[in-house]
Amino acid sequence: MAGISADFFDGRSSRRRQVTIAVKDGKVTVSGDGMAFEVPVAEVKISARMSGMPRRLEFPGGAAAVVHDNEAVDRAFAVAVRKTLAHRLESHAGIVVAALILTIALCWSGYQYGVPWAAREAAMRLPANLESSIAEEGLKALDELLFRPSTLNARHRAALAQTFAALRDASGLPVSVRLELRDGKLIGANALALPGGIVVVTDPLARLLGDEDQIAAVLAHELGHIQHRHSLRYILQDSIVALAAMAIYGDASAVAGIAATVPTALVHARYSQGFEREADEYAYELLRKTGRSPRALGLALSALEAGAENGGESNARDKSDAEGGGVNDTGKRPRARDFGYLSTHPSTRERVQAAEAAAR
């Protein structure tokens, strides 16, 4: 029987030798490159056949040979080698295609449903003190990166605090949930809910929404995010994906990046439509509890949209010495445009219609 060409490694060094392997009378003979030895067939371990993958023959003492001719191995070691189930399955193109489709479907389902479910379960079980720590550190980082102290006058700040307190008390959320006002020069008219119960409203947004019911509607919406822990779930969803990427690719830097990107990620977080719908529904109920119409949320969104289209934030700045950036859709926006409230809250028209329907 003709010999089989193979790459031989002695197990003691990385040197590769070109050898010939022959099988006869229950013996395996390895020869070539100044070496020769013989062992019983029963002492040679042969890897399972996997399509065109090279086969590995392991010899006593740690030596091994890599053979690229699978058919030759099958013929020579017919007594010792069996085609495994894996080999039989991967030899059929239809099964391979079906397995690929199934794998893609499972990955998509896991990302679409499994990750949000896991994030929700984790968020609901996270200790409150840990979530508060995330909020405080996040606000501290935002103050260093994006925010300045609010320049609203004392009467305006007091009115906003009173409106927020009334909404919070009506919602049943703890008194630790608080409002923070900031001059959001770099992010324009915006409001966001941090994990742990901190709602941040920027001066430009407070100035654009001069109507108390409209600002209450925005605050109620952000309290909805607090109630459903959307910010924390958003962070956890991204973290789960990053951790999965680390597990697959072995890149530990993904984990380090999670904490570093939390503050700015929350500023321009595009919540899912499900999150936005939950927060809107929560806002409708809370507005009713405080004697306001759900229509106020639709009016607030329309006012923000109109202000954005007309550079309203910039106009508000001129009228009241604010420093927030304008947010119009003419293509001549300042840098703050990418972080405006509407840019992170999709489907404005549908949400306005939903608010109108809820008011009926």
pTM of the full structure:
0.58
Please determine, for residue 138, whether its predicted confidence score (pLDDT) is greater than 50. yes
Please report which confidence band the pLDDT of residue 324 belongs to, taking 50, 70 and 90 as the band edges.
Answer: very low
Please determine, for residue 294, whether its predicted confidence score (pLDDT) is greater than 60. yes
pLDDT above 90 coverage of the chain, percent: 36
**Checking phi first, is residue 32 left (phi over 0); if not, alpha (psi -120 to 50) or beta?**
left
Q: How far is CA 226 from the centre of its chain?
A: 19
Query: Where exactly does CATH 2.30.29.30 map onto the chain?
Result: 4-87
Alpha helices in 110-153 (DSSP H): 115-125, 128-145
Whole-angstrom distance, CA of residue 205 vs CA of residue 203: 5
- Structure confidence at residue 321 (pLDDT): 37
Please report which confidence band the pLDDT of residue 322 belongs to, taking 50, 70 and 90 as the band edges.
Answer: very low
How confident is the model over 164-175, as pLDDT tens digits?
999 999 999 999
311 CB-near residues (< 8 Å, 6+ apart): 326, 327, 328
Contacts within 8 Å (CB) and 24+ apart, 246-251: none
Which top CATH class is 4-87? mainly beta
Structure-block tokens of residue 224: 């909805």
Whole-angstrom distance, CA of residue 9 vs CA of residue 20: 13
Torsion 130-133-137-138 (CA) sign: positive
Torsion 223-243-122-347 (CA) sign: positive
Whole-angstrom distance, CA of residue 8 vs CA of residue 61: 13
Whole-angstrom distance, CA of residue 262 vs CA of residue 136: 12
How confident is the model over 222-242, as pLDDT tens digits?
999 999 888 777 777 666 655
Please determine, for residue 147, whether its predicted confidence score (pLDDT) is greater than 70. yes
Higher pLDDT, 320 or 19: 19
Whole-angstrom distance, CA of residue 20 vs CA of residue 41: 15
- Structure confidence at residue 122 (pLDDT): 64
Angle (nearest 5°) at CA 108 between 102 and 109 = 85
Distinct helix (H) and strand (E) counts, the chain: 14, 11
Average pLDDT over the chain reads: 77
How confident is the model over 250-268, as pLDDT tens digits?
554 444 444 445 555 555 4
DSSP letters, 85-112, are HHHHHHT-HHHHHHHHHHHHHHHHHIII
- Structure confidence at residue 254 (pLDDT): 46
